[in-house]
Amino acid sequence: MADLRVGGLARFSSCDWPGRLVATVFLQGCSWRCRYCHNPHLLPTQSGNEMSWRDVLAFLDTRRRLLDGVVFSGGEPTVQAALLEAVRAVRELGFEVGLHTSGAAPHRLASLLPLLDWVGFDVKAPFGEYERITGVAGSGEAAAASLSLLIGSGVACDLRTTRHPALLDEGALARLSADLAELGVTARQQPFRAEGCADAELIELTVSAIG
């Protein structure tokens, strides 16, 4: 059985995969440190609040024919090598499978794509400016490679960009649109969520802008 580090489980969700009723499995660990992250408790590779993957599978077994699918989210799900085996197990239960990812691990995404029905992909910045968001050198190259794999796969997807004016100004958004246009795609913009964010400066800037 997959040695999956599970940080949480939403037993029912109608918003994590548009048009589907799903359970969402939140996986522990992320190699990036985006300032606006609203799940900072999932960033470490391990925590004291992990669930058993065996227990998650047992729950999913009781939801056959009641839910459309299962979404793996995070954190960044693709940093866990056991994700591939976990996805196969979920498919064997008869569920469709969705994935939320930022594309941090293109080599893992490549092996997952044939088993996925939908991907929610976070496009964070112009590819040459990713480090300013993620704090990790080379993250833009990884994201661009992953997005190219996703587009080439034909798997249904939703591309979205979190917008905070302190991180992405109008010029950066224009450069991002140009990067995506070269790939033949666009991304929708979603507002920064203060809930869960551990960056006090970003929250304060948001409150000031509203005020």
Mean pLDDT for 41-60 is 89
pLDDT cut 70: percent of the chain above it: 91
Spans of all domains in the chain: 6-210
**Lookup result for tokens 């010029």:** 171
Query: Tens digit of pLDDT for each residue in 7-43?
Result: 999 999 999 999 999 999 999 999 999 888 888 889 9
pLDDT value at 197 more than 90: no
User: For residue 125, what are the CA distances in angstroms to 52, 77, 106, 167?
Assistant: 35, 20, 17, 9
Q: At what angle do helices 139-153 and 170-183 cross, to 10 degrees?
A: 40
Q: What is the pLDDT of residue 210?
A: 42
What's at 159, amino acid-wise? L
Mean pLDDT for 67-71 is 98
The second-level CATH assignment, the architecture, of 6-210 is Alpha-Beta Barrel (3.20)
Q: Is the dihedral of CA 152, 158, 81, 128 positive or negative?
A: positive
